[in-house]
Amino acid sequence: MSAHKEQITILWFKRDLRIEDQPALCHAAQLGYPILPLYVVEPALWMQSDYSGRQWEFTKECLFDLRAQLGALGMPLVVRTGAVRKVLSELTDTFDIKHLVAHEETGTAWTFQRDLRVQAWCRENTIDFTELPQSGVVRRLYTRDHWARARDRFVDGVRLKPPQALKSIDIDAGHIPDWADISGEPDRCPLRQHGGRGAALSSLDKFWGNGIKTYRWAMSSPVTAPHACSRISPHLAQGVMSIREVAQLSALRSKSFSTPAKKGYASFQSRLAWRDHFIQKLEDQPDLDQVAMHRAYNNLRPREGNEAFLSAWEKGETGLPFLDACMRSLQATGWLNFRMRAMVMSVASYHLWLDWRSAGTRLGRLFTDYEPGIHWSQVQMQSGITGMNSIRIYNPMKQAVEHDPNGAFVRRWCPELRDVPDVFLHEPWKWDDGKNPLGKTYPTRVVDFEASARAARDRIWAVRKDRTNRAETAKVIEKHASRKTPTRKRRATPKKPVDQAQLGFDF
Ligand SMILES: Cc1cc2nc3c(=O)[nH]c(=O)nc-3n(C[C@H](O)[C@H](O)[C@H](O)COP(=O)(O)OP(=O)(O)OC[C@H]3O[C@@H](n4cnc5c(N)ncnc54)[C@H](O)[C@@H]3O)c2cc1C
């Protein structure tokens, strides 16, 4: 039978939606068979509660763009909807699939299990399945000891050029669905970033031309960060550019930078390294969205948490203006700067004492740039459950004064508070005036944020101080902590290991 079928290699695109520096594409080209570039829209994946319409609409734009780029090489992207094994089985009716090539995806349990099923299917059907790394993340890492050096080697390696042409295969390219075709649940995100290579390059160009000069001081405030940060995160999350390409293009560009921009550039490079560092944690422990790194903290907070608090937090209706403004801005834009992400997670986990899994899931789906490896490692860090990082409980009122001193951000996203005098804006419950909108147009605070932070600190410290947990802490450090600072010149050298550099007390 198979003698009559065309022999092909399937290049399975997942979160590597590019042709530049694309190891899977280059490997597939070397195998000698015509390449069928395939993306499978998996409704079961997109229905997971950490996935969302904003992420799909961004991905969809990347897919249209990738289809055009591959089309220019001779073979446009083929899109099918369904479970991957079913789609592959259907393709075997027409083709003799010799190889399946993909990147090594680091995701949560769902994608991990799916990849295992695809692997088994390939074995059953005697199809060779190759997965290749696309970043400094190492599969089946034995020890973290020399990881940073290996990561640097990868990022400094030669960028791969796409093949000059692809042989065309006679097949219907298929429909790229809208979010409404996948899910009935609308997800309004009017100020979302857009996908595609042009958008990715333009984000970087803007950053190099302007943002990078102020990056170091402007990245912390939600007022200045949207224009000072690179905004490359959703593009990296969908693999529109490789981390190697971003790091190397930035290095080239940095030669013409002024001194402030050079400092910004060094911080930027270290963040790119953090990216791989955090994703490596999920690669090494694929259940990080379900199980605390340090088991003693696993059930510290009730699993069946307070739905009213969770919903108020997610919608930006907690009665804490700065927090609410952050969540509302995230709802509308799909993005928030690092410090504010850390603060909103800290408030959920400490002040509201919510289960980190529930809050982390709701937060993840609000991010257009949802990247499971970074996300769940950060969610755990900001919830104080890794056992190895110092515990940081953000004080949201203090953050508000430091990062929104004239209240412009709060007034933009919480217009109900427009007339509250500056001096009371971040703590409107202190404004004793009949015009106070609390309990009328703006919610009263769901908890006393100072008292609840104190209570949370006592609870978390009780576990931290317990000497019986020390052996487990040592295991977590051995498995997940960064060993030493990278030595490469073109990158900033953090003064402390990555895990500790970001944390401290704010309380
Ligand atoms: C609770 C929490 C959840 C987060 N979830 C995500 C997520 O799902 N996806 C995501 O990309 N980032 C996540 N981050 C990290 C960080 O906030 C974002 O990467 C950053 O805000 C993206 O904006 P940018 O591209 O302009 O960043 P820039 O400051 O311009 O940094 C450039 C790139 O470096 C990487 N990076 C920056 N900061 C970090 C960091 N602290 N840890 C790891 N990598 C970093 C990202 O890939 C980023 O795109 C999370 C942080 C926290 C505290």
Cβ < 6 Å from ligand 1: which residues? Answer: 219, 229-233, 236-237, 268, 271-272, 274-275, 278, 337-338, 341-342, 345, 364, 367, 369-371, 374-375, 378-379, 382
Strand order in the sheet with 35-41: 78-81, 35-41, 6-13, 95-103, 128-132
Domain check: are 266 and 301 in the same one? no
Range of the domain at 412: 295-490
Taking residues 275-298, what's their average pLDDT? 94
- Of the candidates 165, 156, 171, 232, the one whose C-alpha atom is nearest the C-alpha of residue 38 is 171
* Nearest atom, ligand 1, residue 231 CA: 26
Residue 159 belongs to some domain of the structure: no
Q: Is the pLDDT of residue 225 over 90?
A: yes
Phi then psi for 87, rounded to 5 degrees? -60, -45
What is the 321 CA–ligand 1 centroid distance (Å)? 24
Residue 139's alpha-carbon distances to 132, 154, 228, 284, 476, in angstroms, are 9, 13, 34, 8, 18
Q: Which tokens in the block code for residue 104?
A: 């090594």
- What whole-number distance in Å separates Cα of residue 283 and Cα of residue 293? 13
Secondary structure element (H or E) that encloses residue 35, with its range: strand 35-41
Q: Which tokens in the block code for residue 222?
A: 């939600």
Residue 327 belongs to some domain of the structure: yes
Residue where a domain stops, chosen among 283, 309, 342 = 283
Residue 144's alpha-carbon distances to 244, 277, 360, in angstroms, are 21, 10, 26
- CB burial class (10 A; 0-12, 13-18, 19+) of residue 9? buried
Residue 125's pLDDT is 98
**What pLDDT digit, counting tens, does each position of 15-67 carry?**
999 999 999 999 999 999 999 999 999 999 999 999 999 999 999 999 999 99
Tell me the pLDDT band of 485, cut-offs 50, 70 and 90: low
Domain check: are 277 and 333 in the same one? no
Q: Is the pLDDT of residue 499 over 60?
A: no
- Atom 11 in ligand 1: residue holding the nearest Cα: 233
CATH number of the domain bearing residue 206: 1.25.40.80
What is the 375 CA–ligand 1 centroid distance (Å)? 8
- Of the candidates 412, 401, 407, the one whose C-alpha atom is nearest the C-alpha of residue 328 is 412
* Nearest atom, ligand 1, residue 207 CA: 30
Q: Which tokens in the block code for residue 136?
A: 């400094």
Q: pTM for the full model?
A: 0.94
Residue 244 belongs to some domain of the structure: yes
What is the 284 CA–ligand 1 centroid distance (Å)? 19
What is the 338 CA–ligand 1 centroid distance (Å)? 6
Number of domains in the chain: 3
Q: Is the pLDDT of residue 405 over 50?
A: yes
Taking residues 374-393, what's their average pLDDT? 92
Domain check: are 376 and 302 in the same one? yes
**What pLDDT digit, counting tens, does each position of 69-99 carry?**
999 999 999 999 999 999 999 999 999 999 9
Rg (Cα) of the chain, in Å, rounded? 24
Q: Which tokens in the block code for residue 349?
A: 């986990």
Domain check: are 127 and 74 in the same one? yes
Residue 56's pLDDT is 98
Pocket test for ligand 1, best of 374, 375, 381, 498 (most atoms within 8 A of CB): 374
Mean pLDDT of the chain: 93
* Nearest atom, ligand 1, residue 502 CA: 41
What is the 292 CA–ligand 1 centroid distance (Å)? 21
The three-point CA angle 3-4-6 to 5° equals: 95
Residue 73's pLDDT is 98
What is the 80 CA–ligand 1 centroid distance (Å)? 31
Torsion angle defined by CA atoms of residues 333, 334, 336 and 338, in that order, rounded to the nearest 10 degrees:
-160
Q: Which tokens in the block code for residue 362?
A: 């709701």
pLDDT over 70, % of the chain: 95
Domain check: are 412 and 376 in the same one? yes
- Give helix then strand counts, H and E, for the chain: 24, 5
Domain check: are 130 and 204 in the same one? no
Q: Is the pLDDT of residue 3 over 90?
A: no
Domain check: are 243 and 324 in the same one? no
* Nearest atom, ligand 1, residue 342 CA: 53
Domain check: are 333 and 395 in the same one? yes
Contact 204, 193 (CB under 8 A): no
Tell me the pLDDT band of 476, cut-offs 50, 70 and 90: confident
More confident residue, 465 or 229: 229
Contact 375, 360 (CB under 8 A): yes
Domain check: are 353 and 305 in the same one? yes
- Atom 4 in ligand 1: residue holding the nearest Cα: 375
**What pLDDT digit, counting tens, does each position of 140-195 carry?**
988 888 899 999 999 999 999 999 999 999 999 999 999 999 997 899 999 999 99
- Of the candidates 153, 95, 97, the one whose C-alpha atom is nearest the C-alpha of residue 124 is 97
CATH number of the domain bearing residue 350: 1.10.579.10
Residue 170 belongs to some domain of the structure: no
Span of 139-153, 312-326, 349-363, 411-425 with lowest mean pLDDT: 139-153
Residue 158 belongs to some domain of the structure: no
Domain check: are 441 and 318 in the same one? yes
Residue where a domain stops, chosen among 283, 307, 331 = 283
Only one residue has tokens 């940060």, namely 229
Residue 74 belongs to some domain of the structure: yes
Span of 158-162, 181-185, 278-282, 483-487 with lowest mean pLDDT: 483-487
Domain check: are 207 and 79 in the same one? no
- Atom 24 in ligand 1: residue holding the nearest Cα: 231
Only one residue has tokens 């059930």, namely 299
Q: Which tokens in the block code for residue 405?
A: 């001193």
Length of the chain: 507
DSSP conformational letter for 319: S
- What whole-number distance in Å separates Cα of residue 52 and Cα of residue 481? 31
Q: Is the pLDDT of residue 280 over 70?
A: yes
Residue 471's pLDDT is 85
Residue 177 belongs to some domain of the structure: no
What is the helix, strand, coil percentage profile of the chain, to 5?
A: 50, 5, 40
CATH number of the domain bearing residue 23: 3.40.50.620
- H-helix segments, 390-497: 396-403, 408-413, 422-425, 449-465, 470-480
Domain check: are 476 and 409 in the same one? yes
- What whole-number distance in Å separates Cα of residue 38 and Cα of residue 255? 39
Residue where a domain stops, chosen among 134, 161, 188 = 134
What is the 233 CA–ligand 1 centroid distance (Å)? 6
Residue 302 belongs to some domain of the structure: yes
